[in-house]
Amino acid sequence: MKKIILALVFVILLAGCISEEKTWEVTKGTDRTSEELQVPAATAAPVTAIPEEESIDRKVITTSQIEIEVNDFDKAMAKINTVVENYDGYIADSSSRIEDNYKEGWITLRIPEEYFSNVFEELKTLGKVKSTDTNREDVTKRYMDLESRLNNKKAEEKRYLEILEEAKNVEEILKVESYLSRTREEIERLQGEINYLRNRINYSTITIYLSEPKPISYEWGIKRAIETGIQAFMATIRAIIIGIFVFIPLIILAAVLYFIYKAVKKKTGFKIRK
C-alpha cells in the first residue's frame, strides 16, 4: 500500500515539474509549427455553447420572382423607383427592350428584409400579376459555422502575436510571421464569406418581369398572299436563269458539232441514205 501511495506522489510531482517547464513547442494542430518552430504551446480557443433551438436567431435568405403585365412600362418603372426609395432599397440590375410595338424588361431589387412583405404587396398593385414565386433558404448552420471558424482563427492570430513577442532570433521571427500571414489570409477569406451571407440575409432579392400587353392585329391575308405570289414568281425566274446557264454549254456544243457535220458533208458529198 505504501509503495502505491509513493508511486502516486511521484507521478503527481513529475507532472507538476513538466507543466512548469517552458518547452518552446507549438502543438501539432496549429499549422504544422511543432516540427518547425519551438514556441510556447497555444491555448485552445474556448468552445461556445450551442444555444437551444428556440433561442437561435435564424439566418434566412429570401429571393422572389414576380411577373406583372402593365399598361405603361415607363410609368410602372417610375413607381418601382419610388417604392425602392421609400423602403431604403436599391435597384441592382435592370434591362428592357421594345418588340412588336410593346415594351418588356427585367428589374432586380434589393430590399431590407424587414420590408420585404410591404414591397411585395405594393408591387402587386402595378398591374395584372401573372405569376409569383418566393424562396426562403435557411443558412443559419452555415453562418454559425463560419463565425465559429473565424473566432478560432482570430484566437490563433492573437496567440501567434504573443509568440512573436517571445521570439529570440530572426529565424524564429520569420517562421512565426509566415504562420501569422497564412492565418490572417484565412481570417480575411472567412470574413468575406460572412459579409456576403450577411448582405444576402439583410437584403431580400426581388426579380420583376414587366411587360405591356401584346397588340392584337387582324389581317385578311391579302398582304401575305401577295408576298407569297411574289416569292413564287422570283423563284420561277431564278429557276429559268439557272436552267439557261446550265443548257448554254450544251447548246453551244450541239451547234459546233452541227457545223462540223455540215462542213464534212459539203466537202465529201456524203449523203445519208434514207
Residue-wise pLDDT tens digits, 217-263: 655 667 777 888 888 888 888 888 887 877 788 788 888 887 787 77
C-alpha cell read off for 1: 500500500
Side-chain-facing half-sphere of 81: CA atoms under 13 Å: 7
Number of Cβ within 10 Å of residue 200's Cβ equals 19
Residue-wise pLDDT tens digits, 261-274: 777 777 776 554 54
- Check if the beta carbon of residue 208 is closer than 8 Å to that of residue 106: yes
Distance of alpha carbon 177 from alpha carbon 154, whole angstroms: 15
DSSP 8-state class, residue 195: H
The torsion region of residue 244 among left (phi > 0), alpha (psi -120 to 50) and beta comes to alpha
Which pTM was predicted? 0.58
Looking at the DSSP bridge assignments, the partners of residue 95 are: 106
Angle 73-86/116-123 helices, nearest 10 degrees?
A: 160
- Name the residue with higher pLDDT: 240 or 21: 240
Give the domain 26-42+57-217 fold: Alpha-Beta Plaits (3.30.70)
* Cα 181 → chain centroid: 30
